[in-house]
Amino acid sequence: MEYKLKNMSVEEKVGQLFQVGFLTPTVNGQVRDMIENYHVGGVIYFSRNIESPEQTAELSNQLQQIALSSGSKIPLFISADQEGGTVTRLAGATHFPGNMALGAANDQDLTTEVAESTASELKNLGINVNLAPVLDINNNPDNPVIGVRSFGGDPKLVAELGAAYIKGMQSGGVIATAKHFPGHGDTDTDSHLDLPIIKHPRSRLDQVELYPFKKAIQAGVDSIMTAHVYFPAIEKEEDIPATLSKSVLTDLLRNELKFEGLIITDCMEMKAIVNTFGTVEGAVKTIEAGSDTVLVSHSYQRQKNAIEAVIEAVKSGRISEKRIDASVKRILSLKAKRINLDQVDKADPAQINFKNHKKIAQKLAEKSLTLVKNENVFPLKNIKGKKMTIIDFEMGRVSLAENEGEKNNLFANYLNKEIINLDHIRLQKNAVLSFDDQQRIEASDLIIVCTYNATVNRDQAKLAEKLAENNNVLVLALRNPYDYQLIDKTQAFITTYDYSPAGQKAAADFILGKIKAKGKLPVSVDL
């Protein structure tokens, strides 16, 4: 490692501190330029880069080949947000239920098993960094960005499951990244859009927000991602997000909590940074504050400008080369540990046991399915003779079907195999039933309303409540358990915490009486 560092130019060292995104599923001129001429240390995949396991593996192999044949010949960090649940990037990979489902199951061994399986898929697609797990404690029902990405509302539960997840991910040879330090759970602002503020005193932060991160550090987590959130109890200068705060990253995370791993920023193109200091100046300031890796996910021009700004900051003396060297040493050390500095194993999706992983996903879905309310609806008797109507909603990019273009959701397909008299109505976001729809619903023994973030799309909950005045109504929350706070009249409520295929099958199997709902709410959803 030392020989690599000794022979690197300032430009090559600074490049190692950056991780960049690009816009295509193949190697384009921009990402090639970033690797060959700007010497970036890593790339990040989004769904725009991923079409299939085979294509993803080939892309990873090509990118590594470019990195190992140019500049200082150092392999890339290749990362993705493969959290499970509502945040999954890998087309063709196993769609595991997410963190809040793991919280509802509350099984550390199963959490480790899910993480190991995820790591196997990532590694065999050439992805060596998972930007997971989320260790934010979702104790604010109005949080627009964390929600079901959290294990729950209890610091001890989040810490235990987070440590179990880290263990599974890193034992599978993939870098785990605990995020978003020092905590993004108790906000009602999305840092993609503006700068959130958490005003709790330090004593409360120690007991709640910081607790899972302390346990993650004890568990040996490789990497921690920063939050674009302002914490007045830690950072005295007004409106400085944690990502740009030396008090947060160096004084607290490095010196007080003794974290020796890699500090990576959340994307520096999020509005919490763009609207305050901007991506370019923000890149300089976050390195001054203590970050090792600067994430710029989208704009090629901003990526170039940010790298050039940091190089200029080193050459002008604003940032010392010794400070850059400290981060490069951490980067090279972690690459040597998890990847290998001299050669990279070829990605090969044929090595992935998708069949077994699907079973593990189903096991989690069944263990996490949660029955929140049941007023003499379940168990259903003589179910095959019942008339049922499923109502769901157009939800933009979210698809409840396994294949694009399918009208039915998976949940409806599973029920349709065993219930003869089953109707399926899909509504627009405004959730208005036509006269024909109302006629179709008549004489239904059970109406199932599939909500998706009804806390935002409130017409979904209003429709369920109106129908419950004259019908038996089950609300199936396919994402947000907090939808329950809008439900009063409906007779039953179950939640899968996300729309994964395994979760939809578990919900259908419960209604058919094949399984029991074993999950327990990991958050408070009191009316």
**Catalytic machinery residues:** 192, 266
Rounded to the nearest 10 degrees, the angle between the axes of helix 211-218 and helix 155-171 is 30
Residues 214, 410: Cα–Cα separation, whole Å: 40
Q: What does DSSP say about strands 42-45 and 77-80: parallel, antiparallel, or unpaired?
A: parallel
Phi/psi zone of residue 57: left (φ > 0), alpha (ψ -120 to 50 degrees), beta? alpha
Residues 121, 94: Cα–Cα separation, whole Å: 8
Residues 223, 220: Cα–Cα separation, whole Å: 9
Q: Give the bridge partners for 18, in sequence order.
A: 294
SS (H, E, C) 269-319: CCHHHHCCCCHHHHHHHHHHHCCCEEEECCCHHHHHHHHHHHHHHHHCCCC
Tokens of 399: 């698809």
Contact 208, 137 (CB under 8 A): yes
Cα distances (Å, whole numbers) of residue 194 to 270, 273, 489: 8, 8, 36
Please count the other Cβ atoms lying within 10 Å of the Cβ belonging to residue 271. 15
